[in-house]
Amino acid sequence: CCCSSCSSCCCFILVRMAESKTALPAGGVGDDGVQDLTAMVQQLLGQMQDKFQGMSDQIVGRIDDMGSRIDELEKSLADLMAQAGVEAENEDAG
């Protein structure tokens, strides 16, 4: 292959065409061939966009979860500090 990321290069498109039994004509690509290739490229770009959106949504979801966990941790830490402060005052008084 000509690059390390075949999902975005012409090699990938040609492989997909071969898998779908679509062959380039020996004499060149006519208008129908250009339209077919354009449609295939648009379909592949749409699939890539859908996958990217899905991964992006997962990342945002995980970041939101992490933010919630951090908020809970901060609250727990504040509660522990408050309890330690109250206990330390009780020990000093006793």
Each residue of 22-40: pLDDT tens digit? Answer: 555 555 556 787 888 899 9
pLDDT of the residue at 15: 65
Q: Scanning the structure block, which residue is given the tokens 């090699």?
A: 11
Tens digit of each residue's pLDDT (9 = 90 or more) over 71-83: 999 999 999 999 8
Average pLDDT along the chain: 78
CA distances from 93 to 67, 85, 88, 89 (A): 39, 12, 9, 6
First-last CA distance in the chain: 78
**Between these two residues, 47 and 18, which has the higher pLDDT value?**
47
Q: Please tell me the pTM assigned to this model.
A: 0.51
Beta carbons of 61 and 53 less than 8 angstroms apart: no
Q: Scanning the structure block, which residue is given the tokens 């990217």?
A: 52
